[in-house]
């Protein structure tokens, strides 16, 4: 018998290796593009495409901080960002989540509780000034997240980023910062004082994501969060009491 009779042919190994790599690449592509494909299907169902300039809201699972936002604002809107196109035309959400910066829209949507999203559109007069608004957003890039909710530029929180960018770029306040007022913190006053080292008070001017949804300069396009507020608040209250 010839010495190489039982050795597999090199060509077979090569073909199997190529097939394995092709299948692996295809699976990786499917996983990587799943958020974008899912969003396209949802936009088709809504008959609405999220466009640059849109203000997008979601509910996050960020523990006690998000629980407090839900309870104090009596809404499920715990986070907000603004959609801008990058140099390649890709839709990015600019947000103050950690440091101010962009994240791909589809990935941003995937992060929210139940992937639910609300989309509000600037009125035409403000959309006409989107380049100036976008410049103001990008001017705050890299600013750290403001966990004390102070109305300054040292650190920035999510709705502060949107409000300041629109007001500075277009000269219009979506919803001007305002104090929540005496008694508004209620039973949460002590924990808020500890979390913010007494920096956030009932007299601190602020704008919340829920405030922005009530702006007369925004038009609701899609809101999958509407009506979920009572369930979210009841959940946070039960967790705190438990």
pLDDT digits (tens, 9 = 90+) for 33-65: 687 899 999 999 999 999 999 999 999 999 999
In a domain, residue 8? The reply is no
In a domain, residue 4? The reply is no
In a domain, residue 39? The reply is no
Q: What pTM did the predictor assign?
A: 0.83
In a domain, residue 38? The reply is no
pLDDT digits (tens, 9 = 90+) for 91-150: 999 999 999 999 999 999 999 999 999 999 999 999 999 999 999 999 999 999 999 999
In a domain, residue 169? The reply is yes
Q: What CATH number does residue 76 fall under?
A: 3.90.1720.10
In a domain, residue 206? The reply is yes
Range of the domain at 71: 48-230
- The long-range contacts involving 127-136, CB below 8 angstroms and separated by at least 24 positions, are 127/53, 129/169, 129/170, 130/52, 130/53, 132/169, 132/170, 133/53, 133/82, 133/165, 133/166, 133/169, 133/170, 134/52, 134/84, 134/165, 134/169, 135/169, 136/164, 136/165, 136/166, 136/168, 136/169
In a domain, residue 118? The reply is yes
């Amino acid at each position: 018998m010839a010495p190489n009779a039982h050795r597999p042919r090199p060509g077979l190994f090569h073909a199997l290796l190529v097939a394995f790599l092709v299948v692996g690449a295809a699976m990786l592509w499917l996983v990587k593009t799943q958020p974008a494909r899912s969003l396209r299907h949802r936009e088709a169902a809504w008959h609405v495409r999220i466009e640059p300039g849109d203000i997008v809201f979601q509910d996050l699972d960020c523990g006690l901080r998000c629980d407090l936002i839900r309870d104090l604002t009596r809404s499920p809107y715990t986070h907000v960002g603004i959609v801008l196109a990058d140099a390649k035309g890709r839709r990015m959400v600019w947000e103050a989540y950690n440091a101010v910066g962009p994240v791909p829209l589809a990935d941003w949507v995937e992060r929210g509780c139940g992937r639910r999203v609300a989309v509000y559109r600037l009125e035409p007069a403000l959309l006409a000034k989107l380049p100036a608004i976008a410049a103001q957003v990008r001017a705050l890039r890299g600013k750290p997240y403001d966990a004390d909710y102070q109305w300054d530029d040292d650190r920035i929180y999510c709705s502060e980023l949107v409000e300041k960018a629109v007001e500075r770029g277009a000269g219009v306040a979506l919803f001007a910062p305002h104090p929540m007022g005496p008694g508004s913190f209620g039973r949460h006053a002590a924990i808020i004082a500890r979390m913010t080292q007494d920096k956030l008070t009932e007299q601190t001017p602020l704008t919340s994501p829920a405030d922005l949804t009530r702006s007369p300069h925004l038009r609701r396009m899609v809101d999958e969060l509407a009506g979920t507020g009572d369930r979210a608040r009841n959940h946070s209250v039960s967790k705190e009491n438990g």
